[in-house]
Amino acid sequence: MSATVVLLETTSSNLRSASLPAVSAARALAKHHGGPVIGVVIGAGVGAAAADAARFVDKVLCFDNPALAAALAETWAPLLATAVKDSGATALVASATSTGKDILPRAAALLGAGMASDVVAVLGAKSFRRPTYAGNAQTDVEITTGTVVLTARQTEFSPAAPAPSAGSVENKAPGAIDALGSEFVALHATTSARPDLTEAKVVVSGGRGMKATENFKLLEQLTDLMGGALGASRAACDAGMVPNDLQVGQTGKVVAPELYFAIALSGAIQHLAGMKSSKVIVAINKDPEAPIFQVADFGLVATWESTLPQLIAEIQKLKSA
């Protein structure tokens, strides 16, 4: 009977939805470890966020300090380790966000614990399934240490619903904070009215074949018509057609929407690694040999120029019918 600790990322007032899959993974793990699920909220002025986060877990430990505003592994990992030790926990979980991937291994190092990255299934107290070889293998691993650390792949754990009753919030003093000379300077955030790529029900991705930025306008039309998010291949990002944070794949985001459109996109294995779990995949590519057709449920061998306007019109017709 020991606790499972889960890192809960927040804005200043709310739990980030990206952490809800981690709560689900923590609950799955808590079934094997037998104890409560304890959330950890770290930041500056995060009292309201901690209260919001407490709706999802048995208890929240909150480290609130101006020096903790940025998610630096140097300052956050020791607090996660402290939270695990102080609560006698035997498991530490986070979503495999850029923050989780940065910080959790460092916390594992401090705990002397084995870690499984990007877990897609909890098989037991210390057994986990995870993708390897760019998603071309699934690998079962067993952790041999008393405490286990894992990041959960967001697309494979459904977002947790609030618990029947909200947990308590305990404010904890962080003790000495030493960033070891690391310093957050700025976040150049991308803002979009569209849903987050990792959470969208529909993703429309364009590849190298889209040729130019202005051609993405058609993809944006399709995206907005479907209420989805825009994505891209590495080639399209590297060519400067769209910003890098739209990239789907081994570098970039892992998505698993209900419907994935791959337009003028060949489907290199690094790209497939980021979208293969989508429920329905549609590929439009003029090259019948393009690897994307091997994973597509519906493939259309054609150019985007000759099909996109009609595709948009047909869907519009269907939606207004």
Partner 1 sequence: MKILVPCKRVPNPELKLKIAGGAVELAGTTWQVNPFDEYAVETALRLTEKSKGGERSGEVVVVSIGPKDTATQLRQLLAMGADRAILVAGDDATLDADLVARTLKAVVESEKPDLVVMGKQAVDGDDNQVGQLLAGYLAWPQATFLSTLTLAADGKSATVLREVDTGVEERRVRLPAVATVDLRIIGKKAVRNEALAGPETEWEDTQRLASLKGIMAAKKKELKEITAESLGVSGGLLVKTVRHENPPSRKAGIKVASVEELVSKLHSEAKVI
Residues of this chain, 273-302, that bind partner 1 according to CB under 8 A: 276, 279-282, 293, 295-301
**Least spacing, CB of residue 37 vs partner 1, in Å:** 23
Taking the CA atoms of residue 122, residue 115, residue 247 and residue 312 in that order, the dihedral angle to the nearest 10 degrees is 10
* Integer Cα distance of 147 and 107 in angstroms: 11
* C-beta of 101 vs 286, nearer to partner 1: 101
Q: Is 312 left (phi over 0), alpha (psi -120 to 50) or beta?
A: alpha
- Name which position in 55, 102, 159, 305 contacts partner 1 (CB under 8 A): 102
* Integer Cα distance of 203 and 221 in angstroms: 12
- Name which position in 87, 99, 155, 223 contacts partner 1 (CB under 8 A): 99
- Name which position in 134, 163, 169, 256 contacts partner 1 (CB under 8 A): 134
State yes or no: residue 186 binds partner 1 (CB under 8 A): yes
From the CB of residue 112, how many other CB atoms can be counted at a distance below 10 Å?
A: 10
By CB under 8 A, what part of segment 143-172 binds partner 1? 143-145
State yes or no: residue 14 binds partner 1 (CB under 8 A): no
* C-beta of 14 vs 171, nearer to partner 1: 14
* Integer Cα distance of 84 and 90 in angstroms: 7
> What is the Cβ-side half-sphere exposure of residue 140, based on CA atoms within 13 angstroms?
6
- Name which position in 1, 165, 183, 320 contacts partner 1 (CB under 8 A): 183
Nearest-Å Rg of the Cα atoms of the chain is 21
76 with 68: CB under 8 angstroms?
Answer: yes
State yes or no: residue 132 binds partner 1 (CB under 8 A): yes
State yes or no: residue 221 binds partner 1 (CB under 8 A): no
State yes or no: residue 121 binds partner 1 (CB under 8 A): no
Q: Is 214 left (phi over 0), alpha (psi -120 to 50) or beta?
A: alpha
The string of DSSP codes covering 32-50 is HHEEEEEEEEEESS-HHHH
* C-beta of 59 vs 253, nearer to partner 1: 253
State yes or no: residue 108 binds partner 1 (CB under 8 A): yes
**Least spacing, CB of residue 259 vs partner 1, in Å:** 4
What tokens does 270 get? 């690094």
- Name which position in 269, 286, 303, 305 contacts partner 1 (CB under 8 A): 269
* Integer Cα distance of 193 and 216 in angstroms: 16
* C-beta of 165 vs 191, nearer to partner 1: 191
* C-beta of 86 vs 238, nearer to partner 1: 238
63 with 174: CB under 8 angstroms?
Answer: yes
CA angle 134, 128, 278 (to 5 degrees): 45
Size of the site for partner 1 (CB under 8 A): 86
**Contact string 223-262 vs partner 1 (x = CB under 8 A):** ---x-------x---x-----xx----xx-x----xx---
- Name which position in 17, 127, 221, 303 contacts partner 1 (CB under 8 A): 127
State yes or no: residue 101 binds partner 1 (CB under 8 A): yes
